[in-house]
Each structure stands twice: as structure tokens, then as C-alpha cells.
Amino acid sequence: MSKPKSQNPPLSTPDAPQTSPAGCLVRLGWMLLGNIALLLSAAAISQNKAAFSLADALFWAIAIGVVALRYVDIRVLHGQTAMGTPATIAHWRRYAVFMAAASLAVWLLAHGVARITA
């Protein structure tokens, strides 16, 4: 008598790309930690009355760094989309444009708050 076959798919297939620890760290960086750092630096900008400060430089360095991490994730670490398909440079371009626009909006908002509370 044979065992009944499981209806569950295998957890991984032999040809499926495996995520490395470096890949996990990079994804955590651009998905979560970078965005938290952007919000914290925007909060610092909103508390500062200067037209341009170290917090501004840090904000833009983080914004560029997050986009660069996404690029490394795709090109070097074979990053994936949320649906599990391989990410492409087209995905990176959309992400870069979105991050540029969102970062600019948050930066302007932080400076606006700083001016209002002055």
C-alpha cells in the first residue's frame, strides 16, 4: 500500500533562485530601513529653521542610497517583485521615479512645516 500524495506544492524547486543573506539585508534596507531613515530625517528637517542643513544632506543621501540599493538588489542579487517574479530594470526605473517624486514631496512638506512653526 502506497502513501497518499500530498496536495501541497514543494517549498522550492531545484531551479528556483535562492535568496542569500546579503539579498535579504539589501531588501530590508531599501524596503524598510531606508524609508524609516527618510522619515526620521524629514522630521529633523521640520524641526530645523535653516534653509539647508545637515539633515537635508542626509535626507537626499538616504533617498539616493535607497534607489541604489534597489538597483543592486535587481542587478547583482537577482531581486524579485512582490509577486515573486524576477525584477527588471524597468521595475527599478519606476521605483526610482516614484522615490524621486515622493522624496521631493516629503522634503518640501518638511520645509513647509519648519516655516509654519518658525
Distance of CA 74 to the CA centre of its chain: 12
Handedness of CA 49, 54, 55, 57 (dihedral sign): positive
Residue 11 covered by a domain? no
Residue 37 covered by a domain? yes
Give the pLDDT confidence score for residue 6 in this predicted structure. Answer: 54
Residue 10 covered by a domain? no
- Report whether pLDDT(118) > 80: no
Residue 33 covered by a domain? yes
Give the pLDDT confidence score for residue 41 in this predicted structure. Answer: 97
Handedness of CA 72, 75, 78, 79 (dihedral sign): positive
Per-residue pLDDT of 8-19, as tens digits, reads 554 444 454 567
Give the pLDDT confidence score for residue 34 in this predicted structure. Answer: 94
Q: What is the mean pLDDT of residues 51-78?
A: 95
Total domain count, the chain: 1
CA distances from 40 to 61, 66, 94, 106, 109 (A): 13, 14, 24, 11, 13
Residue 55 covered by a domain? yes
Position 50 confidence tier, pLDDT thresholds 50, 70, 90 = confident
Give the range of the structural domain holding residue 48, as residue numbers without chain letter.
21-116
Ranges 2-16, 19-33, 37-51, most confident? 37-51
